[in-house]
Amino acid sequence: MNKTQKFDISKKAKRLNLWVFMIGNLISGFGESCINIAYIPFLYEVTDNNLFITGLFSTLFTVLWFIPAPISGKLSDKFGRKKMMIISKPIALVGLGILFFVNKNNLYLLIVSIFLRAIGFMSSNTNRQILIAESNSDSKNGLGRIFGIMAFLYFGSTIGGAVFVNQTGYSFVTYFMIFGGITCMIWIMEILFITDIATYLPKRNTEISRTKKSWREVFSNSKIRTAIIFLTLDFFVWDVSNSVLNAGLQSYYGFTLENLAFLSIWFNVSTMLFQIPAGKLTDKYGKKKILIVSEATGILIFAIHIITALLWSGGSTSIVIISMVLTQILFGVVASTFIPSENMILTDLDESRKGESYGMVSFVRGFGALPTGAIGGFLMGSVHFITPFIVSIVGIVLIVMYLVKFGHRFEDEEKIGQKIGNENESKPKIESLLEI
């Protein structure tokens, strides 16, 4: 096969990959919305309404999601993205199946389920994100918008899942089964249609010393070091509040599963509406500026939580739903502005070892999640409902200061703002983004 034929096949494979991932996002959002809404209330129920233990189990999943990441990333670089995706999902599905049988008398099964689901879905997601980046154009034009469109389709689908939960009120297991069925469908699509782009890339002639870099050598890279500090601090600061938020809303305000689903609808609508514009703005103005806006919005979110709780304790109960809807809309802005930059950072850390560098950063990032559930559960359950929000506001101020000083390292040699005007604006948006 000559180089021209190989390039043509690679071009078609990249385009097909992006279409398959977009369809997968459109399907998966519905199922993930169902399980995400139901999962924390499920934990709250099987732990006898204990916020501290609920936080511990929530944190355990997060920690186990990140800790195996370096090994998963290294295996991805060695054996290929598709192969790792195909192997990972059945592991996660076994863990999901075990979840069906968990109750307050056999919480050891919950630990096994968390372990299998975290490892399986982490590996699948890591390889998927890298493959999306590799399937985009070689110059990475519009990569922020590609991730924006992927998230737009995902969150558009989650609206349907949230409405479904809000209107049905089925058992937790029913929503878990729906998620499992959709995951199986996506797994089959990936087996049939996804191509590992590395198959068509020229083999790199790298020295052994380069392929076996020590962690110290990797972290000497200023971009990787900055990403580790920022993403770890970000995870800790936000997860102190978010890891037990739904359980806290149940405990403090008496929210039901249907109430939580209603709030989720507003978050998903907001994220969907802002996602593509946020991706474009990331390409135009750069990751640093957009991330500062994203983080700073969190101060307003947690301030609203604090004010609402104080008004509630003073007898003003009518404001709660309106305030919580507003926080969800603002959180949608945070998510839509954060996601493109996060994915662009993680998939562009080390060109020669994308999977392993992604995994290394994710591994260290996981340490930011280690204490969050326990801290959040303790503060919310034993001190006061608003205490985690105060901690998060202070932390966000520190994050913004860090981004102001070091955020330029994420930009590298990108020419911010030059990509937008030079693209084919007359073409349909989706088509122009998929033209490799």
Residue 139 CA to residue 89 CA, distance in Å, equals: 31
Q: What angle do CA 152, 156, 157 make, to 5 degrees?
A: 120
Residue 426 CA to residue 283 CA, distance in Å, equals: 19
Residue 5 CA to residue 396 CA, distance in Å, equals: 51
Give the least confident one: 182-186, 191-195, 198-202, 259-263: 198-202
At the fourth CATH level, the homologous superfamily of domain 9-199+217-420 is MFS general substrate transporter like domains (1.20.1250.20)
Give the least confident one: 49-53, 65-69, 166-170, 431-435: 431-435
Q: What is the mean pLDDT of residues 110-118?
A: 95
- How does residue 208 score in pLDDT terms, banded at 50, 70 and 90? very low
3-state secondary structure of 148: helix
Residues with Cβ within 8 Å of residue 333, at least 6 apart in sequence: 270, 274, 294, 297
Cβ distance 135 to 16 under 8 Å?
Answer: no
Residue 179 CA to residue 334 CA, distance in Å, equals: 25
pLDDT number for residue 179 = 96
- Enumerate long-range contacts of 288-293, CB under 8 Å, 24 or more apart: 288/403, 288/407, 288/408, 288/410, 288/411, 289/407, 290/337, 290/340, 290/341, 291/230, 291/337, 291/338, 291/341, 291/403, 291/407, 291/410, 292/400, 292/403, 292/404, 292/407, 293/337
Residue 78 CA to residue 50 CA, distance in Å, equals: 43
Quick one: CA dihedral 372, 41, 43, 27, positive or negative?
Answer: negative
- How does residue 412 score in pLDDT terms, banded at 50, 70 and 90? low
Select the more confidently predicted residue: 370 or 103.
Answer: 103
Res 211 pLDDT > 50: no
- DSSP-assigned letters across all residues of 300-368: HHHHHHHHHHHHHHTT--TTHHHHHHHHHHHHHHHHHHHHHHHHHHHTSS-TT-HHHHHHHHHHHHHHT
Q: Measured between alpha carbons, how far is residue 329 from residues 38, 265, 312 in Å?
A: 20, 9, 20
Res 432 pLDDT > 60: no
Of 37-41, 338-342, 355-359, which has the strongest mean pLDDT? 37-41
3-state secondary structure of 230: helix
Query: Closest Cα to residue 325, out of 354, 307, 305?
Result: 305
Give the least confident one: 123-132, 353-362, 415-424: 415-424
Proportion of the chain above pLDDT 70, given as a percent: 84
User: How high is the mean pLDDT of the chain?
Assistant: 83
Give the least confident one: 74-83, 341-350, 427-436: 427-436
Distance spanning both ends of the chain, measured CA to CA: 20
- How does residue 13 score in pLDDT terms, banded at 50, 70 and 90? confident
Q: What is the mean pLDDT of residues 260-288?
A: 87
Res 1 pLDDT > 70: no
pLDDT number for residue 6 = 52
Q: What angle do CA 20, 26, 28 make, to 5 degrees?
A: 95
Residue 343 CA to residue 134 CA, distance in Å, equals: 12
